Chain A
Amino acid sequence: MSERLFGIETEYAISPLGDPERSVGGEGFALRFMNVAAELFPHLRGYRSYGMFLTNGGLLYLDCGGHPEIATPEVCNPWDACRYVAAGERIVANVAKELARRDPHLGVFVTRCNVSYGGAASTWACHESYCHRSDPYHPRVLPDLLIPHLVSRVIYTGCGGFDNRSRGLKFMISPRVAHLSHVISGESQNNRGIYHNKDESLNGAGYHRLHLLCGESVCSQTSAWLKVAATALVVALIEAGLLRRSIVQLQSPLAAMRRFAEDVTCTARVPVYDGRTEWTAIELQRQYLREAERYVDHPVMPSWAPEACRRWGEILNRLEQGPQHVATILDWGIKYAVYQRFLDQHGIEWSTLGWWNQVIDKASEERRLLTRCGGSGLAKTLICAFGRRHAEFEQLEHVLQVRDQLFEIDTRFGELGRQGIFAGMEAAGALEHRVEGVDGIDDAISNPPSSGRACLRGDYVKRLRGTEAVCDWTGVWDCRRKRFLDLSDPFASRAKWRQIDGSELLPF
């Protein structure tokens, strides 16, 4: 059995709420967040990776757009991945709580939601890193064999929500997909791709890092667990050369991903490369699952592969039966059920959303007229524009109000803390998303995983905190004692310090 290493980076959205006179938004507020975090949590300053390395081996830093981001330590199983993501959430929530405590006029809102509905149509995300040793002389192999997996896995990895580039209510299994514009791209803030080919190994010893940014933060443990487990198995199979001839290729990966992300029935078919057949996302996933099951005992596979295959198959079986069968398990399934219900309660049928979206788009085009018209004036304008269904047009303002409420609900669904909607449903015992064995969250706030270089890193962050030492993913520099701990081997298990001279001490 082989160990696989991976990690998760989660960007959070943080906003000051309360007295607008006193609130500081954007990066200024995020900097205050980071200063409080530095006071609360023992750490070593990051060198190349700006921010602070924590005693659990992870990194807290401020990413672009003023988003606090937590990168978990490198872990070798999906339980630890979920455990350290949850620990990161508690770290962020604790900092937010302390910020609010220090300023009684301030409310601090933090959410996992990956899109902004406030008119900016912006996105941030949850990235994954997988350590691998694929052949660098065949750079197309990894993307070619992985992309159909990334395209189709959205059916169990999507966080659900609305396309925030639309003014209407377009539900998507994965709203992040609306922000992907390339199949392969090295960019991360614009022109994002399904497959991110930025080459930043953060490893030595022949290891590479696959960095994915097409995913989203999810609340469901089942979803988060399966996302890393299934993807790590696929990467392992590719690394071992076991998938080469068996995986069908999509004719248009981007179009296919959008189609899958918009289809809650998971029955949409997309053309594959030979043009003769069309496959569903479930069928595409089953081909990967079949290969993982076939090679489950292969030396390249981790010890948890059999359980991953079992859970993978179970969720595909559920998805095959319809969205109601994941309505208590997956983020998008829960949202789909709850949002339909919310619309029903407000007298709007889900099936009419397509029509309302057309109306809203038309209304947006008529912005000049809309600004002059209110109430019945708005309705008259639209009646003139469309020339039919008067009664429905008169409901438009009600629909827009409900739309804004649903956008707020979606933003608050993943809110950190007990007031979040997912957290509230979880506390009421209404959800079935948990994965047995994802526990010890409080311990993971301050302690590293038991294996891999993160174990050493976390240990030395504890020992050297408060000194002039600095840290990075690949090493620790102990400036006072002029020594360097090389962590370029991701599986390093023993601390091997070496003395360094002044020229090797980094300019801090």
Chain B
Amino acid sequence: MRFREPRDNETRQRSDGEADGNLASMRETGESLFEAADAAINKALSQDSLSFLNNTRQQGGQ
């Protein structure tokens, strides 16, 4: 697992050292984020998403 690295248009110019440090920190944070997301999604996701969406269909509110 790794945090997706920023695309060219998603980042501003930074010094190389600062960028390396940030990237390492982002990877660490990303691993934790994705691990938690995987566990939460696996726990929550039903076997039949289409049925779930039909069963939770809502009327519009305000």
Contacts and interface: CB of A to CB of B under 8 A. Distances in A.
Interface of A: 11, 13, 15, 17, 20, 26, 63-67, 69, 109, 111, 116-120, 122-125, 127, 188-189, 213, 264-265, 267, 320-324, 327-328, 334, 337-338, 340-342, 401, 404-405, 407-409, 411-412, 415, 419-425, 428-431
Interface string B1-27: 101101001111000000000000010
Given A15-B55, A338-B41, A411-B56, 7 more contacts: A13-B58, A64-B61, A408-B49, A409-B45, A419-B44, A423-B40, A431-B33
Contact of B56 (A11, A67, A116, A124): A116
A118 B56 contact: yes
Interface in B28-57: 29-30, 32-37, 39-41, 43-46, 49-50, 52-57
A424 B58 contact: no
A425 B10 contact: no
- Which DSSP category, helix, strand, loop or mixed, fits chain B's interface? helix
B53 A265 contact: no
A409 B41 contact: yes
A430 B56 contact: no
A415 B57 contact: no
A8 to B, nearest CB: 13
Q: Which of A116, A213, A430 has the most CB of B within 10 A?
A: A430
14 contacts: A118-B58, A123-B60, A124-B58, A265-B9, A322-B10, A328-B29, A341-B1, A342-B41, A404-B53, A405-B45, A421-B37, A421-B41, A424-B43, A425-B37
Contact of A419 (B26, B43, B52, B62): B43
Contact of A428 (B30, B39, B62): B39
B60 to A, nearest CB: 4
Contacts of A337: 3-4, 30, 33-34
A324 B26 contact: yes
B57 to A, nearest CB: 3
Contacts of B60: 64-65, 116, 120, 122-124, 189
Contact of B53 (A67, A213, A408): A408
A420 B40 CA distance: 7
B59 A122 contact: yes
B56 A322 contact: no
- Which DSSP category, helix, strand, loop or mixed, fits chain A's interface? mixed
B3 A327 contact: yes
A63 B6 contact: no
Contacts of A405: 45, 49
Contacts of B57: 15, 116, 118-120
B33 A328 contact: yes
B4 A341 contact: yes
Contacts of B3: 324, 327, 337
A381 to B, nearest CB: 21
Q: Which of A109, A189, A341 has the most CB of B within 10 A?
A: A341
Nearest to B33: A430
B8 to A, nearest CB: 10
B14 to A, nearest CB: 8
A264 B57 CA distance: 27
A127 B62 contact: yes
A26 B39 contact: no
Nearest to A116: B58
A189 B40 contact: no
A26 B59 contact: yes
B61 A15 contact: no
A20 B6 CA distance: 46
A117 B54 CA distance: 8
A127 B41 CA distance: 29
Contacts of B6: 322, 324
Given A324-B3, A409-B41, A122 B34 contact: no
A189 B59 CA distance: 11
A340 B62 CA distance: 31
Given A408-B45, A409-B45, A189 B4 contact: no
Given A324-B10, A425-B33, A428-B35, A412 B45 contact: yes
A338 B38 CA distance: 9
B54 A119 contact: yes
Contacts of A428: 32, 35-36, 39-40
Given A324-B3, A405-B45, A409-B45, A117 B53 contact: yes
